[in-house]
């Protein structure tokens, strides 16, 4: 493998790992709990920012970039702090929007939160260094390991894979536990879940904050690798790509979400990178977004449950035999949209 390819493939693999983690986090919120979190990307950005600041070292006045706080923590700590930051920010946003709002109304509020966050961060240079963001973030352990440039990249691929496995184990613990069942109950019929004594808002909040922590961790892993952070990279459209990934891969299915991360942000968007650039600058990017939107619509129309659909969980009890046939569609409960 030539050097350039080695560089490229290691980069793509790290991005894949980050996207897979993000899709698991989003899938926990969207697929399992039914929260349409259109501000997912800002929790990722918050985690990334925290991790960056905690690796950059103390903020020297008169330095070329301004940031809040600043410390020089050893490797795993910035990533963990990133997760905490994502979780805290989620808790704040969740406290505002997760009360009894209708699901689409909630989604609209989250979208507005995402748009405003971008507006605030880019318009005020004093707070987060404005649109320039942060750069020259030192890469973790690079001083200790003494690897070649390419060697370090492959080391980081391994590191990402390990963090991915930890996140997977964690998400899997939730989704296959009684907690996961409660979350699905909240998603399918929140009033029914409440009637059975489940704390609906609390369960939504749990899932939302855990998703936020995962978002923060994934952002931190990304920023430590590319060693730069700018608000322009965390726009609401990026959340939409993750949604597209989860929808294409399979909602409420962790393997599906991972497959979606491979198919949409990586395969679909990377493949177009190899097409020749055409037209004025920005044209091919715009068409890429159009393609992502169309892909989502096509899947929602033809395969709304994705490539790997959610496993049907049926409890075989003799008395339930009849009820089972009546439950062909798992989502019969919630009111459908609009007026027919």
Partner 1 sequence: MFLHAIGFGIVTAAVMALAAVGFTVQFGITNILNLAYGDVMTASAFVAYASSSAGLSPWWGMVVGGLFGAVFSVLLNRFLYTPFIRRGARLFTMIIVTIAAALILQNCLQAIFGPDSFSAHISAGATVRVLGMVFTATQLILIAIAAVALAALHGLLRYTRLGKAMRATASDPELARNCGVPTRWVIDGSWLLSGLLCGLAGVALVTELGSFDFTTGSVFLIPVIAAAVLGGVGHPYGAMLGALVIGLASALEATYFNPAYQDVVAFGVLIAVLLIRPQGIFAEVASQKEVAA
List contacts with partner 1 (CB under 8 A): 34, 36, 38, 96-97, 99-105, 107-109, 111-113, 115-116, 119-120, 123-124, 237, 240, 243, 247, 279-283, 286-287, 289-290, 292-294, 296-297, 300-301, 304, 331, 334-340
Q: Least distance from C-beta 126 to partner 1, angstroms? A: 11
Looking at the Cβ atoms of 115 and 179, the one nearer to partner 1 is: 115
With a CB cutoff of 8 Å and minimum separation 6, the contacts of 94 are 204, 205, 208, 209, 212
Q: Least distance from C-beta 117 to partner 1, angstroms? A: 9
Q: Least distance from C-beta 103 to partner 1, angstroms? A: 5
Q: Least distance from C-beta 17 to partner 1, angstroms? A: 25
Looking at the Cβ atoms of 49 and 243, the one nearer to partner 1 is: 243
Dist. CA 157–CA 32, nearest whole Å: 29
Dist. CA 96–CA 135, nearest whole Å: 32
According to DSSP, the β-strands at 228-229 and 134-135 are antiparallel
Query: Does residue 217 contact residue 24 with C-beta atoms inside 8 Å?
Result: no
Looking at the Cβ atoms of 255 and 289, the one nearer to partner 1 is: 289
For tokens 């790997």, the residue is 308
Q: Least distance from C-beta 134 to partner 1, angstroms? A: 20
Looking at the Cβ atoms of 53 and 292, the one nearer to partner 1 is: 292
Looking at the Cβ atoms of 162 and 297, the one nearer to partner 1 is: 297
Q: Least distance from C-beta 225 to partner 1, angstroms? A: 27
Looking at the Cβ atoms of 320 and 327, the one nearer to partner 1 is: 327
- Hey, what are 272's tokens? 């177009």
What is the phi/psi pair of residue 61, to 5°? Answer: -70, 140
How would you write 9-66 as a 3-class SS string? HHHHHHHHHHHHHHHHHHHHHHHHCCCCCCCHHHHHHHHHHHHHHHHHCCCCCCCCCC
């Amino acid at each position: 493998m030539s050097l350039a390819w080695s560089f490229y493939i290691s980069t793509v693999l790290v991005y894949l790992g980050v996207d897979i983690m993000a899709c698991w986090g989003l899938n926990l919120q969207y697929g399992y709990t039914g929260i349409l979190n259109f501000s997912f990307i800002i929790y990722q950005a918050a985690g990334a920012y925290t991790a960056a600041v905690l690796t950059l070292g103390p903020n020297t006045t008169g330095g070329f970039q301004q940031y809040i706080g600043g410390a020089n923590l050893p490797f795993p700590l910035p990533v963990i702090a990133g997760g905490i930051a994502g979780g805290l920010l989620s808790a704040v946003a969740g406290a505002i929007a997760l009360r009894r709002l209708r699901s689409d109304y909630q989604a609209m509020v989250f979208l507005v939160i995402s748009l405003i966050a971008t507006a605030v961060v880019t318009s005020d240079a004093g707070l987060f260094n404005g649109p320039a963001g942060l750069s020259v973030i030192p890469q973790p352990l690079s001083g200790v390991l003494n690897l070649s440039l390419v060697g370090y990249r492959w080391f980081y691929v391994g590191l990402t894979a390990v963090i991915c496995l930890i996140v997977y184990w964690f998400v899997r613990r939730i989704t296959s536990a009684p907690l996961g069942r409660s979350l699905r109950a909240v998603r399918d019929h929140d009033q029914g879940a409440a009637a059975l004594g489940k704390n609906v808002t609390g369960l939504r909040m749990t899932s939302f904050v855990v998703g936020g922590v995962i978002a923060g961790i994934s952002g931190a892993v990304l920023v430590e690798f590319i060693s730069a952070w700018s608000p322009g990279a965390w726009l609401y459209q990026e959340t939409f790509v993750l949604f597209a990934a989860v929808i294409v891969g399979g909602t409420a299915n962790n393997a599906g979400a991972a497959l979606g991360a491979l198919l949409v942000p990586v395969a679909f968007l990377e493949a177009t990178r190899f097409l020749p650039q055409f037209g004025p600058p920005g044209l091919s990017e715009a068409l890429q977004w159009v393609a992502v939107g169309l892909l989502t619509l096509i899947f929602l129309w033809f395969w709304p449950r994705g490539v790997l659909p959610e496993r049907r969980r049926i409890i075989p009890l003799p008395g339930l035999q009849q009820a089972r046939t009546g439950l062909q569609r798992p989502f019969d409960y919630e009111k459908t949209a609009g007026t027919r």
